Structure 1
Amino acid sequence: MVKYIAKRFAQSILTLFIIITIVFSLLRLMPDEGYLGAAAEKMSPEQQEIYLTNLGLRDPLLVQLKNFYVDLIQGDLGKSITYRTDVPVLDIIQDKMMYSILFGLGAVALSLLVGVPLGILMAQFKGRWLDRLGTGYIVIVVAVPAMVYFLMIQMYISEWFNLPMLFDEYNPRSFILPLICLALGPIASYAMWMRRYMVDELNKDYIKLARAKGVTERTIMFRHVMRNAFIPMAQYLPATILFTITGSIYIESLFSIPGMGGLLVDAIQRQDNNVVQGLVLVFSSLGIIGLILGDLLMAIVDPRIKLGKGDSVR
């Protein structure tokens, strides 16, 4: 287990290095205005060139990349250029991170409380009206563009139930619609995979043998089927949770939530490349951590799975 964790950690560091290097290099191909900000209008071409030279942007790309990683190791992600001029990027992200974490955890709790039981009921009543209703919901969520039903929820549900359309940190009722929108996708995902894995388990020979021995359906469902069906789901739960915690870029912008998703949109629109780099690093790190935790959770849930040489689950 320790050897496997060390191996995955090394692979994760390499993956992060590749992602950040690609993003860093692409951002350096963008116009220089992204590093000058509002000061560009007040500078002459010569002053702009001196300013960019002082920032190190006229150094060779490999030198810039080396300097970036040296600063990164020291915990320095640079300073904001246009979003909040000269404010450290790390401070900006920390201010926004709490909103994304709170909404992400709330959406995860809601999606687990609704999605997993829905998948269980769909498998238990396979082919009946409840299964068809759940399948219809999953198809709609997957097939219809998310922005369509997000806008419908914001416009109509807010009117029918007299809920605020935009986020207000001093009004808890304004949290309801963003949480619902964030949870719709994960609910469909949990329900779909839980149903699939449970149906697969119900068709296996050991279930037929248990029924032949007279074991009750309740015992079969809760002691055997649900437990074994949850094992493959466990691999993807941490990644899904961490992706949800980072927040939806569109939802945070739609409901004016001051989280990391909305920050990324603003940073791109204002060409604040340092903030964009910092957010890419955060999002990539969370995604990779989720994949590793998924493997570990799967091994914990099912002791038969060994995460060692030649036995990796991925």
Structure 2
Amino acid sequence: MLKYIGKRLLQSVFTLFVIVTIVFLLLRLMPEEGYLGAAADKMSPEQQEIYLTNLGLRDPILVQLGNFYTNLISGDFGKSITYRQDVPVLDIIADKFMYSVSFGLGAVALSLIIGVPLGILMAQMKGRWLDRLGTGYIVFVVAVPAMVYYLIIQMYITEIFDLPMLFDEYDPISWVLPLISLALAPTASYAMWMRRYMVDELNRDYIKLARAKGVKERTLMFKHVLRNAFIPLAQYLPATILFTIAGSIYVESLYSIPGMGGLLVDAIQRQDNNVVQGLVLVFSSLGIIGLILGDLAMALVDPRIKLGKGESVR
């Protein structure tokens, strides 16, 4: 187990290095006006050149990359250029982090409360009306672009139920629609996979043998089928939590939630490359941590799975 964790951590560090390096190089291809911000119009060409030189943008690209990683290792993400000028990027992200975490965890909790029981009921009522209704919901969420049903929820649900259209941290009612919007996709995913795994388990020979021996259906369902069906689902739970936190970009912008998603959109629009780099690092780290925790969760739920040399659940 320890060897596996060490190996995955090394792979994760390498993956992060590749992602952040690619983003760093791509951002350096963008127009330099983004580094000047609103002061660009007030500077002469000579002043602009001096400013860019002081930022290190006239150094060779490998020197810039080396300086970036040297600062990163020491915990310096740089300072904001245009979003909040000269404010450390880490402080800006810290201010936004808890909003994204709160909504991400709330959405996942809601999706588990609804999605897992829905998948169980769909498996038990396979081919009947509830199964068809749940399948229709899953197909709709998968087939329709998320921004479409996000807009439908914001435009029509707010009017029908008289709910606030924008987020207000002092009004809990305004949290309802963002949470529902974020929970729609993971709810469909949990329902789909729970149904699939339960149907697979129900068709196994040991279940048929247990039924032939007269084992009660309730005992079969909760002691064997549900337990075994939840094992592969546990693998996706940590990743879903972290991906939901990182993937709330559009919802946060739509409802004016001051989280990391909205911050990323603003930073890109303002061409604040230092903030963009910091957010890419945070989002990438969350995704990779989720994948590792998913493997570990699956091994903990099912002791038969051994994560060692030459063995992986992926």
TM-score bracket, shorter-length normalisation: over 0.9
Tell me how far apart the structure 1 counterparts of residues 7 and 114 of structure 2 sit (CA, whole Å): 36
1:268 corresponds in structure 2 to 268
Matches of 2:118 and 2:129 in 1, distance apart? 13
Task: Render the CA deviation track for 1:215-264: whole Å, top value 9, x for unaligned.
Answer: 11111111101111111111111001111123511111110101000000
Between 1:190-199 and 1:145-154, the stretch displaced more is 145-154
Letter in 2 for 1:167: F
- 2:234 maps to 1:231: no
Query: Which secondary structure state, in structure 2, belongs to the residue aligned with residue 173 of structure 1?
Result: helix
State the AA in 1 paired with 2:52: L
Aligned to 2:58: 58
Mapped to 1, the partners of 2:35 and 2:147 lie a distance apart of 32
| Residue 84 (structure 1) aligns with | 84
Give the corresponding residue for 2:9: 9
Moved over 2 A (4+): none
Matched residue type, 1:305: I
Identity %: 84
The amino acid of 1:112's aligned partner reads L
Partner of 1:39: 39
CA distance in 1, matches of 2:269, 2:261: 13
1:198 corresponds in structure 2 to 198
The aligned counterpart of 2:73 is 73
The superposition leaves residues 280-304 of structure 1 with CA deviations (integer Å, 9 ceiling, x where unpaired) of 0000000000000000000000001
Per-residue CA distance 1:51-108 (angstroms, 9 max, x = gap): 1111111111111011000100111000000000000000000000111011111101
Q: CA separation in 1, counterparts of 2:132 and 2:313?
A: 33
The 5 Å alignment of 1:272-291 reads 272-291=272-291
Please state if 1:20 is matched with 2:35.
no
Provide the aligned length of Structure 1 versus Structure 2. Answer: 314
Query: Secondary structure of the equivalent of 2:295?
Result: helix
Moved more, 200-209 or 244-253: 244-253
Between the aligned partners of 2:223 and 2:112, the Cα distance in structure 1 is 19
AA aligned to 1:32 is E
Measured in 1, the distance between the counterparts of 2:183 and 2:66 equals 40
Distance 1:14 1:146 in 2: 31
Q: Distance in 1 between matches of 2:190 and 2:52?
A: 49
Superposed CA deviations along residues 137-174 of structure 1, whole A, max 9, x for unmatched, are 10111111211111111111111111100001111110
Gaps of 5+ in 2: none
In the alignment, which residue of structure 1 is the partner of 2:245? Answer: 245
Instruction: Say yes or no: does 1:123 pair with 2:127.
Output: no
Aligned residue identity for 2:58: R
Q: Please tell me whether the aligned partners of residues 307 and 313 of structure 1 are also in contact (alpha carbons under 8 angstroms).
A: yes
Measure the CA separation in 2 of the matches of 1:87 and 1:36. 15
Deviations 1:177-213 (A, max 9, x none): 0000000000000000000011011111111111011
What one-letter code is carried by the residue in structure 1 that aligns with 2:286?
L
The answer as to 2:213 corresponding to 1:218 is no
Quick one: distance in 1 between partners of 2:248 and 2:310?
A: 37
* Gaps in structure 1 of 5+ consecutive residues: none
Q: Deviations over 1:254-280 (max 9, x none)?
A: 101010000000000000000000000
Q: More displaced, 143-152 or 112-121? A: 143-152
- 2:298 — aligned with what? 298
SS at match of 1:34: helix
In structure 1, the partner of 2:176 is: 176
> 2:30 maps to what in 1?
30
Read off the aligned partner of 1:160 and give its amino acid letter.
I
Within-5 A mapping of 1:96-115: 96-115=96-115
Q: Secondary structure at the match of 1:235?
A: helix
TM-score norm. by structure 2 comes to: 0.99
Question: What's the counterpart of residue 140 of structure 1?
Answer: 140
**If the length of structure 1 is used for normalisation, what is the TM-score?**
0.99
Give 1:182's aligned amino acid: L
1:117 and 1:233 map into 2 onto residues whose CA distance is 13
Distance in 2 of aligned mates of 1:85 and 1:222: 57
1:224 partner letter: H
Contact 1:247-1:260 within 8 A present in 2 as well: no
